[in-house]
Amino acid sequence: MNISESKRLFAHAQNFIPGGVNSPVRAFRAVGGDPIFIKRADGAFIFDENDNGYIELINSWGPMILGHNHHLIREAVIDAMDSGTSFGAPTAKEIEIAELIVSMVPSVEKVRMVNSGTEATMSAIRVARGYTGRDKFIKMEGHYHGHGDSFLISAGSGAITMGNPDSPGVTKGTAKDTLLAPYNSLEAIEKLVDANKGEIAALILEPVPGNMGLVTPMPGYLEGLREICTREGIVLIFDEVMTGFRLAPGGAQELFGVTPDMTTLGKIIGGGMPVGAYGGKKEIMEHVSPAGPVYQAGTLSGNPIAMAAGLAMLHHLNDHRELYGELLTIGRKIAEGIMKINLELGYNYTVNHLGSMYSLFFSNDPVVDFESAKKSDTVLFGKYFQAMLKRGIYLAPSQFESLFLSTALRDDLITQILQAHRESMIEIHSA
Ligand code: PMP
């Protein structure tokens, strides 16, 4: 495979952009080799600058659940462009998307649009603090909530991939209000709550974390968190930036039947445009400016082009709920196919799978939290990543990420993915 143009661009990019990329994991540091520079994408494929096509299993880290360049989103964006790109004033489309989100996501009674998942989580924590008058919050080890200072403590995703789960630049003063707990342990939460009685504003978590690789909640775990938070007056925040509109139309909270007080959203909500949102109970959201005193704003928030893309996406998902069954089938075929091939070849690696998300961990032990995720053989993962890439399959370039499947993955492509998996497993174990 000739990737000469990507190599040339990456070398050139280093002169002007830190590390040559605008988001760290894109640099392929954890898997070796040069990143692929993308020229275009369509359906289940992305194409690099040398016109090589790859079957996509990341889908822009989640947003492209319908595959790339979907005609409905393209048409909505082009149509919106005819009327101008930004007004900085309220529009009818913002009400339409807010109403739609409220109707789809169980916990959301009022919602504020922002420009990224990072903004959504930073704002949600501020609102929870303003609402409760308390400073501390609980975060799970290995969960990622964007790059806001108070979240870059034992953070997953790119932070752990780059070896900086605790980033320099986050002050001790900020870090002291972030309390850490292992995921999937109610006992740990009870202890933290006991030791910080009446001081905890919020508990934020990815209900189904994807940022330490995919991990699923133990039976009763989310329900248990709900009970503790209700009892202690702690605002329970589900960060559904990844899982929102993916695991179900109403996200993980719909799938597991547990309703948080607040929810943060991103990725799919913008149909590939830069959009995030946070919402929740009316009583809490009424604290957001200008209704209440907690300040939060944005020059481009509710941008008309971004809203058009998001509306096209959400209307389509809401009107075609059968797509979630299709995504589940696609996810099952791939995840179960991988497990079957592994067993045939004599490997017992853990595959975590839920709906259209999955992770293959190079570990023989169950992966239930950050500690168990970190036991994975990341060197072997790097070899697997390169072996798959060589065969035209584009995976997330880190062990500590989930894969995101799209409805564009037809059966013939799934067969190709599984064949590439078989060949890659044989190749990486024979070296
Ligand atoms: N929360 C979660 C759960 C995420 O997965 C991400 C991004 N992967 C974020 C927040 C931050 O979103 P963004 O990158 O849009 O700032």
Both 75 and 106 in a single domain? Answer: yes
Catalytic residue among 54, 221, 239, 261: 239
Both 335 and 251 in a single domain? Answer: no
- DSSP helix/strand/coil, 60: coil
Give the residue, out of 21, 145, 253, 275, with the most ligand 1 atoms within 8 A of its beta carbon, to mutate for a pocket test. 145
CATH code for the domain in which residue 395 is found: 3.90.1150.10
Both 172 and 107 in a single domain? Answer: yes
How many distinct structural domains can be found in the chain?
2
Among 293, 319, 345, the domain boundary falls at 319
Question: Is 242 near ligand 1, meaning CB less than 6 Å away?
Answer: yes
User: Could you give the CA distance from residue 368 to residue 140 in angstroms, rounded to a whole number?
Assistant: 12
Both 328 and 409 in a single domain? Answer: yes
Both 165 and 306 in a single domain? Answer: yes
The rounded Å distance from CA 215 to ligand 1 centre is: 16
Catalytic residue among 93, 110, 139, 267: 267
Both 189 and 314 in a single domain? Answer: yes
Both 157 and 299 in a single domain? Answer: yes
Give the pLDDT confidence of 101-123 residue by residue, as tens digits: 999 999 999 999 999 999 999 99
Both 294 and 367 in a single domain? Answer: no
Among 319, 337, 368, the domain boundary falls at 319
Neighbours of 365 (CB within 10 A): 12
Give the pLDDT confidence of 244-271 residue by residue, as tens digits: 999 999 999 999 999 999 999 999 999 9
Is 239 considered catalytic here?
Answer: yes
CATH code for the domain in which residue 306 is found: 3.40.640.10
User: Could you give the CA distance from residue 379 to residue 31 in angstroms, rounded to a whole number?
Assistant: 8
Residue nearest to atom 1 of ligand 1 (CA): 145
Is 144 considered catalytic here?
Answer: yes
User: Could you give the CA distance from residue 387 to residue 390 in angstroms, rounded to a whole number?
Assistant: 5
The rounded Å distance from CA 411 to ligand 1 centre is: 30
Is this structure's pTM higher than 0.90? yes
Both 114 and 246 in a single domain? Answer: yes
- Which residues form the domain of 51? 4-69+321-430
Both 298 and 186 in a single domain? Answer: yes
Question: Is 263 near ligand 1, meaning CB less than 6 Å away?
Answer: no
Neighbours of 46 (CB within 10 A): 22
Question: Is 145 near ligand 1, meaning CB less than 6 Å away?
Answer: yes
Both 85 and 11 in a single domain? Answer: no
Both 56 and 93 in a single domain? Answer: no
Is 267 considered catalytic here?
Answer: yes
Among 272, 289, 319, the domain boundary falls at 319
Give the pLDDT confidence of 148-205 residue by residue, as tens digits: 999 999 888 877 777 777 889 999 999 999 999 999 999 999 999 999 999 999 999 9
